[in-house]
Chains A and B, each alone.
Chain A
Amino acid sequence: MTDRTAPTGRTALPDATAPSRARRRGVAGWVDVRGRRLGGWAFILNRVTGLGVLFYLYLHLLVLSQLAIGPGAWDSLLKNWFLNPVFLVLDVVLLAGLLIHGLNGIRVSLVGFGLVVSRQKALLGAFGTIGAIVLLIGTLMFISHGG
């Protein structure tokens, strides 16, 4: 079950396991803007949204424990908290984070597998447009639910 890319069990080409420049710079490398290209910014955005979405995942799992308590606990949570306008704003933020992380993840995967490499900017534009449209539709749906 353990990841074979861990330092003890690497199976890829020997040179591929060498620490990268980013890793040698540590987390400080994330905020180093020198010489950073579009892909570098996307990398940071992917990390930040990934951490946010992971935090939400565990928060979500924790909240779901209210279901085990019973109908009263869950339904009052819905009525008193989740339909609150503040939560609806957070829903929009969550959807934006999911879209950024998911669409950028598709882009990184495609490029990583050697596909669409020469069309990265077009890909970014296409995914940016799709993300904006889905976010707009999602926001309108959240607003309609809140109303």
Chain B
Amino acid sequence: MTGPVDELRAAPGGARELPERWAPEERDTLPGVGWAWQAITGALVLVLLTLHMIANHFVVQGGLRDYQQVIAYITNPIILPLETLFLVVVSWHGLLGLRAVVFDFGLSARAERIVTRVFVVVWLATIAYGVTLLAILVTRP
């Protein structure tokens, strides 16, 4: 039985040289562009999450922001777009990962298409929820 890595090695044009000690299952469930997206969004999440954790938990007295501190934080013109971007990227990364897990159940092609659409809807709903919450807080007198 050959795995995708063996198949890539044997593909016309040779693909690129692949490492011998590869753990193929680590990327098989998100082949091609999807895997690269997951790696790119993962790197972005890492940067934005680090900023989020430091700003909200590690430099704040008591480790958590009270209501007034939260308002002061998110009304900062640099923080607001950064936190919005964080929401967009982290929910995309998480849902794309969950989609890969769901695909592990061995769905039909049609079911996989439906799952993909459902996840896009959930992703958009998550962003809508977060942006609405931010808008309420930022515009509150």
Contact = CB atoms under 8 A, between A and B. Distances in A.
Interface in A1-44: 1-8, 10-18, 20-24, 26-27, 29-30, 37-40, 42-43
A78 interface: yes
B116 to A, nearest CB: 5
B130 to A, nearest CB: 7
A132 interface: no
A20 B70 contact: no
Interface residues of B, number: 68
**Size range of the interface on A?**
35 or more
Contacts of B68: 71
Contacts of A61: 126, 129-130
A64 to B, nearest CB: 6
A75 B69 CA distance: 11
A109 B38 CA distance: 9
Interface in A96-118: 98, 102, 105-106, 108-109, 111-114, 117-118
Given A13-B15, A65-B133, A74-B66, A20 B26 contact: no
Contacts of A1: 120
Interface string B77-98: 0000000000000110011111
Contacts of B113: 6-8
B38 to A, nearest CB: 8
A48 to B, nearest CB: 10
B141 interface: no
Interface in A75-108: 75, 78, 82-83, 98, 102, 105-106, 108
A142 interface: yes
Interface of B: 1, 3-4, 7-8, 10-11, 15-19, 21-35, 37, 39, 42-43, 45-46, 49, 57-58, 62-64, 66-68, 70, 90-91, 94-99, 101, 103-106, 109, 112-113, 116-117, 120, 126, 129-130, 133, 136-137
5 contacts: A11-B33, A29-B25, A39-B23, A67-B137, A78-B66
Question: Closest 9 interchain pairs by CB?
Answer: A39-B23, A12-B32, A5-B34, A20-B28, A145-B63, A15-B7, A117-B19, A71-B67, A22-B25
